[in-house]
């Protein structure tokens, strides 16, 4: 299978086409002059204009961003701690692993109805931002732990030992050696958590309160009545474009820094 990598490359290319086909179609349809998503009848930018005039969409976008940011920060902090907790073997680690794999495998609809019942009937947590935050952290945490743990467990303990031997205090060793080593995984985990919260429909749809509708729930409710609005198509196009631009900048900065730091950075 390595003798003819171009066959494999072609298959990989087709999978990329599959992944990008609907995105590309959204981008085209966002400039459509009619409301239809399937038939392109002309070119216009009116949906972008209407998007920035629609206060309901902008308001729920703001709420969704705040929620995703708060959820990502909390789950990244406590999830990273947990990943370090699982670093070395200890009695009961298997049990923790099982607990942490639960949110990955319990179907969303089950989590959603369970949280709805618990928040409303037992805990007395009003539906809305607080309930959404508790839930989003609960289902994002495990993803952060998985991502950070893979990096932590692959880390060379001798690096930290060397720092200690050279006289670094545990705090200094952590800040100057351990943290830079796990930083990429922490950032990846945070991005993952942000994305999970930002795009969640199912669980959020059970927990939104009056006046605290997240964007996906708003879109879902609106779409089931009269189809998806072209404004949302325009917004999605903007979001993917922004992500792609950020990614390109990130790669450029990383390669620039790697070149600057020389071959030492390659070792990490």
Residue numbers 153-172 binding other proteins by CB under 8 A:
153
DSSP summary character for residue 208: -
Give 32's strand partners.
Answer: 43
Q: How far is the CB of 30 from other proteins (least distance, A)?
A: 10
Q: Is the dihedral of CA 119, 124, 128, 133 positive or negative?
A: negative
- Give yes or no for a contact between 26 and 233, defined as CB atoms under 8 angstroms apart: yes
Binding to other proteins (CB under 8 A) within 213-232 occurs at: 215-216, 219-220, 223, 227-228, 232
The dihedral region occupied by 211, where left means phi > 0, alpha psi between -120 and 50, and beta the remainder, is left
Q: How far is the CB of 62 from other proteins (least distance, A)?
A: 16
Binding to other proteins (CB under 8 A) within 57-96 occurs at: 78-79, 81-82, 84-88, 90-93, 96
CA atoms of 104 and 246, how far apart (whole Å): 28
Nearer to other proteins, 143 or 177 (CB): 143
Instruction: Verify binding: residue 137, other proteins, rule CB under 8 A.
Output: yes
- Give yes or no for a contact between 233 and 29, defined as CB atoms under 8 angstroms apart: yes
Q: How far is the CB of 258 from other proteins (least distance, A)?
A: 10
CA atoms of 4 and 220, how far apart (whole Å): 45
Length of the chain: 268
Q: How far is the CB of 69 from other proteins (least distance, A)?
A: 15
Please give the backbone phi and psi of residue 155, each rounded to the nearest 5 degrees, phi first. -80, 145
Instruction: Verify binding: residue 174, other proteins, rule CB under 8 A.
Output: no
Q: How far is the CB of 162 from other proteins (least distance, A)?
A: 21
Q: How far is the CB of 220 from other proteins (least distance, A)?
A: 6
Nearer to other proteins, 49 or 77 (CB): 77
CA atoms of 176 and 174, how far apart (whole Å): 6
Q: How far apart are the first and last CA of the chain?
A: 30
Instruction: Verify binding: residue 103, other proteins, rule CB under 8 A.
Output: yes
Instruction: Verify binding: residue 19, other proteins, rule CB under 8 A.
Output: yes
Tokens matching residue 41: 């009848």
Coil, helix or strand for 32? strand
Among 105, 157, 210, 267, binds other proteins (CB under 8 A): 105
Instruction: Verify binding: residue 199, other proteins, rule CB under 8 A.
Output: yes
Instruction: Verify binding: residue 127, other proteins, rule CB under 8 A.
Output: no
What mask of x and - would describe binding to other proteins in positions 249 to 268, judged by CB under 8 A?
A: --x-----------------
Nearer to other proteins, 9 or 126 (CB): 9
Q: How far is the CB of 47 from other proteins (least distance, A)?
A: 12
Among 197, 206, 208, 212, binds other proteins (CB under 8 A): 206
- Give yes or no for a contact between 158 and 164, defined as CB atoms under 8 angstroms apart: no
């Amino acid at each position: 299978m390595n003798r003819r990598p171009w066959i494999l490359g072609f298959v990989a290319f087709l999978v990329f086409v599959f992944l990008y086909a609907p995105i590309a179609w959204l981008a085209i349809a966002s400039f459509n002059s009619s409301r239809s998503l399937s038939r392109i009848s002309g070119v216009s930018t009116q949906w972008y204009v209407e998007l920035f005039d629609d206060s309901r969409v902008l308001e729920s976008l703001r709420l969704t961003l705040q929620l995703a940011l708060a959820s990502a920060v909390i789950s990244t902090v406590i999830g990273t701690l947990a990943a370090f907790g699982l670093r070395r073997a200890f009695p009961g680690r298997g049990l923790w692993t099982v607990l942490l794999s639960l949110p990955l495998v319990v179907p969303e609809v089950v989590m959603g109805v369970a949280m709805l019942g618990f928040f409303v009937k037992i805990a007395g947590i009003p539906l809305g931002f607080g309930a959404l935050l508790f839930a989003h952290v609960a289902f994002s945490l495990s993803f952060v732990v998985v991502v950070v743990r893979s990096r932590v467990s692959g880390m060379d303990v001798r690096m930290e030992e060397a720092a200690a031997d050279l006289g670094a205090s545990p705090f200094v060793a952590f800040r100057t050696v351990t943290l830079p080593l796990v930083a990429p995984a922490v950032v990846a985990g945070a991005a993952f958590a942000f994305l999970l919260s930002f795009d969640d429909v199912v669980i959020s749809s059970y927990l939104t309160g009056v006046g605290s509708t997240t964007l996906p729930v708003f879109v879902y409710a609106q779409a089931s009545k009269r189809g998806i609005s072209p404004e949302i198509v325009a917004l999605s196009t903007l979001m993917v474009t922004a992500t792609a631009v950020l990614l390109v900048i990130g790669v450029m900065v990383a390669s620039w820094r790697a070149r600057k730091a020389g071959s030492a950075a390659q070792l990490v």
